[in-house]
Chain A
Amino acid sequence: MSDVDEEIYSLALSRKDGVDNDTIEEKMPHLPAEALANAINRLLRVGKIELVQIGTLTLYKGVSMAELELTSKMNEEDRLIYKLIENSGNEGIWVRTLKLKSNLPQTIVNRSLKQLEAQDIIKSVKSVKHPTRKLYMLSTVSPSADITGGPWFTDQEMDTDFIDQLAKQCHHLIYAYSYPRHNPAMVYPVSHMGYPTASQIKRFISDNRVSTVELTTENIEELLTMLIYDGKIERIAPALDVDRGLRAGAGKPDWMYRALRIADKDSPLTDIPCGRCPVASRCSGSGAITPAKCSYLAKWLAF
Chain B
Amino acid sequence: MAVLIQHGLATHAQTREGPRMVTYYSISMRNILRLQRAGLYLALVEERMGKDGLAVFRAIMLHGTMSIGAARGVVGFSRLGAPAKKKFNIAVAKLVRERFIVAVTAKDSVTRSDRVIQAEATEVAKLDAPPTAKDLLKIRERISLREDEEYHSTTIIGLKRGTAAASADDHGGGASKVLIGPDGRAIVLDGNGLVGTGGGAHAEAEAEADAVDDKQCFRVYHDRLDVFLRNKQVVNYFSDKYNDAAGVVLKTVLRLTEAHTRTCRDRMSERVTANQIMQSIPPDARLEDAVDMGDSGFMQGSADGSGDEASAGRARRGRAALALLELLRTDASGVLNRADERGAGVYRVNFERAAAVLRDQCVDALIVEKHGSVHARIVRVLRDKQKLDEKAVSHFAMLPMDQCRERLHELSLAGFVATVEIPRTADRNPSRMFYLWHVDPHRQASAALRLVFQAMSNIIQRAAKEADARAPLLAKARREDVMADPSLLAASERKELRVACAARQRLDVAAARLDRMLLLVHDIAPRAAAAAAAAA
Please state if A158 and B396 are interface contacts (CB–CB under 8 Å).
Answer: no
Please state if A291 and B517 are interface contacts (CB–CB under 8 Å).
Answer: no
Contacts of B503 in A (CB 8 A): 301
Q: Is the contact region of chain B dominated by helix, strand, or loop, or is it mixed?
A: helix
Closest A residue to B401 using CB positions: A158
Please state if A189 and B293 are interface contacts (CB–CB under 8 Å).
Answer: yes
Whole-angstrom CA separation of A292 from B510 in the bound complex? 16
| Chain B 352-379: CB-based contact to A (< 8 A → 1; otherwise 0) | 0000000001101110111001001100
Please state if B457 and A187 are interface contacts (CB–CB under 8 Å).
Answer: no
Please state if A186 and B292 are interface contacts (CB–CB under 8 Å).
Answer: yes
Interface residue? B241 (CB, 8 A): yes
Please state if A275 and B369 are interface contacts (CB–CB under 8 Å).
Answer: yes
| Residue in B240, B243, B399 whose beta carbon sits within 8 Å of that of A160 in the complex | B399
Please state if A265 and B365 are interface contacts (CB–CB under 8 Å).
Answer: yes
| Residue in A152, A186, A301 whose beta carbon sits within 8 Å of that of B506 in the complex | A301
Interface residue? B384 (CB, 8 A): yes
Whole-angstrom CA separation of A262 from B368 in the bound complex? 14
Please state if A271 and B376 are interface contacts (CB–CB under 8 Å).
Answer: no
Contacts of B454 in A (CB 8 A): 274, 280, 283
Please state if A301 and B293 are interface contacts (CB–CB under 8 Å).
Answer: no
Please state if A226 and B327 are interface contacts (CB–CB under 8 Å).
Answer: no
Please state if A291 and B457 are interface contacts (CB–CB under 8 Å).
Answer: yes
Please state if B368 and A160 are interface contacts (CB–CB under 8 Å).
Answer: no
| Residue in B291, B398, B465 whose beta carbon sits within 8 Å of that of A292 in the complex | B465
Given contacts A160-B400, A191-B296, contact A262 B380 (CB under 8 A): no
Closest B residue to A276 using CB positions: B369
Shortest B357–chain A CB gap in Å is 11
Contacts of B436 in A (CB 8 A): none
Please state if A285 and B461 are interface contacts (CB–CB under 8 Å).
Answer: yes
Shortest A260–chain B CB gap in Å is 7
Please state if B510 and A272 are interface contacts (CB–CB under 8 Å).
Answer: yes
Contacts of B246 in A (CB 8 A): 187
Interface residue? B458 (CB, 8 A): yes
Interface residues of A in 232-286 (CB under 8 A from B): 234, 260-262, 265-272, 274-276, 280, 283, 285
Contacts of B396 in A (CB 8 A): 225-226, 229
Please state if B369 and A267 are interface contacts (CB–CB under 8 Å).
Answer: yes
How many of B's residues come within 8 Å of A, CB to CB? 61
Interface residue? A17 (CB, 8 A): no
Shortest A193–chain B CB gap in Å is 10
Please state if A180 and B292 are interface contacts (CB–CB under 8 Å).
Answer: yes
Contacts of A294 in B (CB 8 A): 458, 462
Shortest B400–chain A CB gap in Å is 4
Given contacts A187-B246, A262-B237, A265-B361, contact A152 B398 (CB under 8 A): yes
| Chain A 156-197: CB-based contact to B (< 8 A → 1; otherwise 0) | 011010010000000000000000100101111111100000
Please state if B243 and A291 are interface contacts (CB–CB under 8 Å).
Answer: no
| Residue in B291, B370, B380 whose beta carbon sits within 8 Å of that of A275 in the complex | B370
Contacts of B380 in A (CB 8 A): 229-231
Whole-angstrom CA separation of A185 from B451 in the bound complex? 35
Shortest A100–chain B CB gap in Å is 23
Please state if B293 and A268 are interface contacts (CB–CB under 8 Å).
Answer: no
Interface residue? B332 (CB, 8 A): yes
Please state if B461 and A291 are interface contacts (CB–CB under 8 Å).
Answer: yes
Contacts of A44 in B (CB 8 A): none
Whole-angstrom CA separation of A152 from B397 in the bound complex? 12
Contacts of A261 in B (CB 8 A): 240-242
Please state if A275 and B455 are interface contacts (CB–CB under 8 Å).
Answer: yes
Whole-angstrom CA separation of A226 from B398 in the bound complex? 7
Please state if B327 and A190 are interface contacts (CB–CB under 8 Å).
Answer: yes
Please state if A189 and B326 are interface contacts (CB–CB under 8 Å).
Answer: yes
Closest A residue to B241 using CB positions: A262
Shortest A176–chain B CB gap in Å is 14
Whole-angstrom CA separation of A292 from B457 in the bound complex? 11
Whole-angstrom CA separation of A185 from B454 in the bound complex? 38
Interface residue? B212 (CB, 8 A): no
Whole-angstrom CA separation of A151 from B502 in the bound complex? 54
Contacts of A274 in B (CB 8 A): 454-455, 458-459
Contacts of B381 in A (CB 8 A): 229
| Chain B 462-475: CB-based contact to A (< 8 A → 1; otherwise 0) | 10111000000000
| Residue in B291, B370, B464, B510 whose beta carbon sits within 8 Å of that of A186 in the complex | B291
| Residue in A234, A262, A269 whose beta carbon sits within 8 Å of that of B332 in the complex | A234
Interface residues of B in 182-231 (CB under 8 A from A): none
Interface residue? A146 (CB, 8 A): no
Whole-angstrom CA separation of A239 from B376 in the bound complex? 30
Please state if B397 and A226 are interface contacts (CB–CB under 8 Å).
Answer: yes
| Residue in A266, A283, A291 whose beta carbon sits within 8 Å of that of B465 in the complex | A291
Most buried by B among A185, A267, A280: A267
Please state if B370 and A291 are interface contacts (CB–CB under 8 Å).
Answer: no
Contacts of A225 in B (CB 8 A): 396
Whole-angstrom CA separation of A288 from B69 in the bound complex? 53
Whole-angstrom CA separation of A92 from B444 in the bound complex? 44
Given contacts A158-B398, A229-B377, A267-B366, contact A188 B461 (CB under 8 A): no
Whole-angstrom CA separation of A294 from B323 in the bound complex? 52
Whole-angstrom CA separation of A30 from B236 in the bound complex? 86
List 11 additional A-B contacts (Cβ < 8 Å) besides A225-B396, A272-B458.
A187-B246, A188-B292, A229-B377, A229-B384, A261-B242, A262-B361, A267-B369, A269-B451, A297-B458, A297-B462, A301-B507
> B residues engaging A (CB < 8 A)?
237, 240-244, 246, 289-294, 296, 323-324, 326-327, 330, 332, 361-362, 364-366, 368-370, 373, 376-377, 380-381, 384, 396-400, 403, 451, 454-455, 457-459, 461-462, 464-466, 502-503, 506-507, 509-510, 513-514, 516-517
Q: List, sorted by A's number, 17 A–B pairs whose CB atoms are closer than 8 Å.
A: A160-B398, A188-B292, A189-B326, A189-B327, A226-B398, A229-B380, A230-B373, A231-B364, A266-B365, A266-B369, A268-B514, A270-B369, A280-B454, A285-B461, A290-B461, A292-B465, A300-B506
> A residues engaging B (CB < 8 A)?
152, 157-158, 160, 163, 180, 183, 185-192, 222-223, 225-226, 229-231, 234, 260-262, 265-272, 274-276, 280, 283, 285, 290-292, 294, 297, 300-301
**Top 9 A-B pairs ranked by shortest CB distance?**
A268-B513, A267-B365, A292-B465, A291-B458, A180-B292, A291-B461, A158-B400, A189-B323, A267-B369
